[in-house]
Chain A
């Protein structure tokens, strides 16, 4: 392997900033240095990196925005051993990065089409890198709509920046929450209900649109049927799937979906590729 990039050995990165987004989710900024800038710049939205937390291990994370100049931003919820360690680290701590790995969103193919983005919960993080790309090349794409559902208003991520994009007329934004506790009412307005409810009354150029979906597994099951019914072609329904990717390069065999490997064939799949795999969604 020539150059600094090895798919096997993490490149050194430093935790430079942590911004808490909710009580258990934060946006981590890592600097991987100039040497890493080259290979990180090959990142395609939807791809993932393997984040190493020394002493903890490695976790696959899809960056929350395209890396630039060796800086990488990861939105991570505290749910397990490695993420727990990560959340306790002070700025300046050494970390490691391998990747980017896998197949991201087909952004070139999507150019010229309207794009419908559907995010559930933490699924907004991988989609945020796609949104960054869409904003950077805004004129290339048709109408962009984001429907984002969260459990409750307090755990809605990146709301302010999304509202700002909507305010500038760059995207159409629909926010919804599963429920709104009494004490949080009045903070700001959004719909109450599930994403499929939002989609139900939505009028859009389905036959011409691409839809990108990222969220918890149950979300896919309801939304894919609705999207197809609305008239979006299954090859244009793009789903970012989650599996237990350990090696990232198609060897360890933890992430198989049917006969496909999530780490090399995905993590972004077309619905048409998954239709014959009963347990994919």
Chain B
């Protein structure tokens, strides 16, 4: 645990050092004008004061489509490839919380092999942010789980190192980091260590430290089954596009499909699925969530109340994507109690 200072003028040099730890990706504008996380070709194109990317960082851990198993020579084999090492630069605290939640799901026993591989090759550099009207996280990012966190300060960034990899990066970048003078720059709150050595452990915060995010108050699962008039209203408006789930940093549900290979054999692909789609609840001869209302409620319950074994844990990190990208302005938070009420 250490805090350093990075001068704004040395950011370019610092980014070059980060490249030693994997392919560098950060927020930038696509040719279509969409804010995306993409490989950093020219550091001057980085959007350090971006609001949010359309697709969250989960795409680096759970590719939209990935081969998980292949079938050849009469048997099934592991289909995963060794992933490249990646450094995600300038990730907001809410998205870091999103990754911490995915860690809980995919690194729990039995750990998902593909996720664990990619996660161990992923270096996270967080950055502080200014909320806009869509944001609703309650945190300041002080305890966002990452390797290294950049807190904007006058003339540069306070750099907090919270993992062994963070320390490693700081050592490699010692030319552009200076000791942080807490007396002159204000005090920092401590960060818990997340990783020991090179092992990936779920980024679970030590007890007593508050989650930096989340919707206010506890959510009553009963709300899902209530006759709240907003359910009908939402169901009438919802077009079932699934954007809220696609852009959600903690929506991870997937489908497994098998396809033939042209060279013989078959490959089993894991693909993002979407609980707003009608076939999500299908079984042979029926559908457990035939109506749009059922599917909206399903998402609500999973998002805010959690499924076993994470029952009772909200996975909403307050990034504001679903509010911004819903084409018909559905905001599930309207169902929740007001903050402070």
Question: Hey, which bits of chain A sit against chain B, CB under 8 A?
Answer: 1, 6-12, 52, 54-58, 77, 79-80, 83, 94, 96, 217, 242-244, 246-247, 249-254, 256, 258-261, 264-265, 278-279
CB-CB nearest in chain B for A254: B280
- With A and B bound together, what is the CA distance between A96 and B79 in angstroms? 15
| CB pair B77 A57 closer than 8 Å | no
Chain B contacts of A254 at CB under 8 A?
Answer: 253, 255, 273, 280-281
Chain A contacts of B254 at CB under 8 A?
Answer: 246-247, 251-252
Q: How far is the CB of B223 from chain A (nearest CB, A)?
A: 13
| CB pair A265 B257 closer than 8 Å | no
| CB pair A259 B307 closer than 8 Å | yes
The 8 closest A-B pairs by CB, nearest first: A253-B253, A12-B75, A57-B258, A79-B284, A94-B74, A10-B76, A54-B71, A259-B311
Chain A contacts of B105 at CB under 8 A?
Answer: 251
- Of the residues A55, A260, A279, contact of B308 by C-beta under 8 Å: A260
| CB pair A244 B283 closer than 8 Å | yes
| CB pair A256 B298 closer than 8 Å | yes
List 12 contacting pairs A-B, 8 Å CB cutoff, sorted by A: A9-B77, A54-B265, A55-B266, A77-B284, A83-B284, A96-B75, A243-B283, A250-B308, A256-B298, A256-B307, A258-B301, A264-B308
Given contacts A9-B76, A258-B221, A259-B307, 5 further A-B contacts (CB under 8 A): A54-B265, A83-B284, A251-B105, A252-B256, A259-B221
Task: Contacts A57-B257, A79-B285, A251-B254 given; indicate if A7 touches B110 (C-beta within 8 A).
Answer: yes
Bits for B243-286, please: 1 = Cβ < 8 Å to A, else 0.
Answer: 00000000011111110100001101000010100001111111
- With A and B bound together, what is the CA distance between A256 and B78 in angstroms? 27
| CB pair A249 B256 closer than 8 Å | no
- With A and B bound together, what is the CA distance between A270 and B12 in angstroms? 60
Tell me if B25 is interfacial: C-beta within 8 Å of chain A.
Answer: no
- With A and B bound together, what is the CA distance between A52 and B76 in angstroms? 9
| CB pair B288 A243 closer than 8 Å | yes
- With A and B bound together, what is the CA distance between A21 and B253 in angstroms? 36
Q: How far is the CB of B253 from chain A (nearest CB, A)?
A: 4
Task: Contacts A79-B284, A94-B75 given; indicate if A259 touches B308 (C-beta within 8 A).
Answer: yes
Bits for B287-311, please: 1 = Cβ < 8 Å to A, else 0.
Answer: 0100000100010011001111101
| CB pair A260 B307 closer than 8 Å | yes
Task: Contacts A10-B69, A54-B71 given; indicate if A265 touches B256 (C-beta within 8 A).
Answer: no
| CB pair A253 B112 closer than 8 Å | no
- Of the residues B252, B265, B283, B294, contact of A253 by C-beta under 8 Å: B252
Q: How far is the CB of B116 from chain A (nearest CB, A)?
A: 11
Chain B contacts of A80 at CB under 8 A?
Answer: 284
- With A and B bound together, what is the CA distance between A71 and B286 in angstroms? 31
Q: How far is the CB of B244 from chain A (nearest CB, A)?
A: 15
Chain B contacts of A79 at CB under 8 A?
Answer: 284-285
| CB pair B308 A9 closer than 8 Å | no
| CB pair A247 B256 closer than 8 Å | yes
Q: How far is the CB of B62 from chain A (nearest CB, A)?
A: 10
- With A and B bound together, what is the CA distance between A260 and B113 in angstroms? 24
- With A and B bound together, what is the CA distance between A11 and B256 in angstroms? 17
Q: Which residues of B70-103 are within 8 A (CB) of A?
A: 71, 74-78
Tell me if B40 is interfacial: C-beta within 8 Å of chain A.
Answer: no
Q: How far is the CB of A94 from chain B (nearest CB, A)?
A: 4
- With A and B bound together, what is the CA distance between A12 and B268 in angstroms? 15
- With A and B bound together, what is the CA distance between A96 and B302 in angstroms? 31
- With A and B bound together, what is the CA distance between A247 and B288 in angstroms? 18
- With A and B bound together, what is the CA distance between A279 and B286 in angstroms? 14
